[in-house]
Amino acid sequence: MNGNGAVLVARDVVKYYGNHQVLCGIDLDVRRGEVVCIMGPSGSGKTTFLRCINHLERIDGGRIEVNGDLVGYRTEPGGKLKEDSDAAIARKRSEIGFVFQRFNLWPNKTVLENIVLGPRLVRHVPRPDAVARAEELLRRVGLAEKRDQYPGRLSGGQQQRVAIARALAMSPALMLFDEPTSALDPETTGEVLDVMVELARGGMTMVCVTHETGFARSVADRIVMMDNGAIVEEGSPEALFTAAQNPRTRDFLARIRH
């Protein structure tokens, strides 16, 4: 640990798809309570990096720590990294919330069951407690009345809010958002962003891959620009949106702001 209260420490993270290098040594620290937005053109490796953080993707070099523990790997005597056991990886993942672009709610389970399943199966929370907590989370995302609906009956924005509640039910130390509003129509984007803003204000540590400049501007403590598998620039929203140093950053920001 760096002693600065870092929840996430990524060092020199390298990832290949076959011969193609998608991550070329990413370094990123995220402090407790910090909100970091990762931006950049598609194909720059943002989503891949995010998926590496909770080991949905293996990494080919470097290390990723959450709350001081390696994610997905353990150190062998001699310092080499070896992929961890399925159970150990699962335990680590339960501390990291992940919100997918396409929600990935379980369609054969009600909204309530979607949220309750993790705490029940992973943390062995008694059912009444898990249900009470799920209901509280549903109120927070404004969907208390949908508890017994199936996801197929909800709008995209509602589904994504349920997905956020599902991740929060595990009381994660870190929340990862993978373009959470990209699959939504403009009307429902707002309701999801509102929930995320609320979460950020409540002190949640968040890493968001997003194209929402308005959101990034209002809640991000730091914006990280990625291009071609590397971080090309990072800084406060103020600094980046008004006076980006890197020409590719300027170019990208100009394009997404029309």
Partner 1 sequence: MVRELASVQFDWTLFFHRLFDPTSQFWHGLIITISVAIVAQIVGVLIGGVTVAASRSWRPLRALAFLYVLVFRGTPLIVQVFFLYFGANIFLGFTLFPRELDLLGLQIQGAILAGITALALNEGAYMSEIIRAGIDAVDKGQMESALSIGLTRRRAMYHIVLPQAARTIVPPLGNQFNGMIKATSLLAFIGVTEIFQDAQITYAANFQPVEVLAAVALWYLLLTIGWTLIQMQIERKLGVAHTDTAVPFSRRALGFRMRGET
Binding site for partner 1 (CB under 8 A): 54, 56, 86-87, 89-91, 93-98, 100, 102, 104-108, 117-118, 121-122, 150-152, 163, 166-167, 170
- The minimum distance between CB 87 and partner 1, in angstroms, equals 6
| Rounded least distance, CB 86 to partner 1, Å | 5
Q: Rounded to the nearest whole angstrom, what is the least distance from the CB of residue 143 to partner 1 in the complex?
A: 17
Q: Select 97 or 157, whichever has its Cβ closest to partner 1.
A: 97
Nearer to partner 1, 17 or 106 (CB): 106
Rounded to the nearest whole angstrom, what is the least distance from the CB of residue 35 to partner 1 in the complex? 20
99 vs 216 by CB, closer to partner 1: 99
Nearer to partner 1, 105 or 208 (CB): 105
CB of 32 to partner 1, least distance (A): 21
Considering the complex, state which of residue 122 and residue 253 has its C-beta at the smaller distance from partner 1.
122
Residue 97 CB, nearest approach to partner 1 (Å): 8
- 3-state SS of the chain is CCCCCEEEEEEEEEEEECCEEEEEEEEEEEECCCEEEEECCCCCCHHHHHHHHCCCCCCCEEEEEECCEECCEEECCCCCEEECCHHHHHHHHCCEEEECCCCCCCCCCCHHHHHHHHHHHHHCCCHHHHHHHHHHHHHHCCCHHHCCCCHHHCCHHHHHHHHHHHHHCCCCCEEEEECCCCCCCHHHHHHHHHHHHHHHHCCCCEEEECCCHHHHHHHCCEEEEEECCEEEEEECHHHHHHHCCCHHHHHHHHHHCC
**CB nearer to partner 1: pick between 89 and 239:** 89
- How many CB atoms are closer than 10 A to CB 217? 15
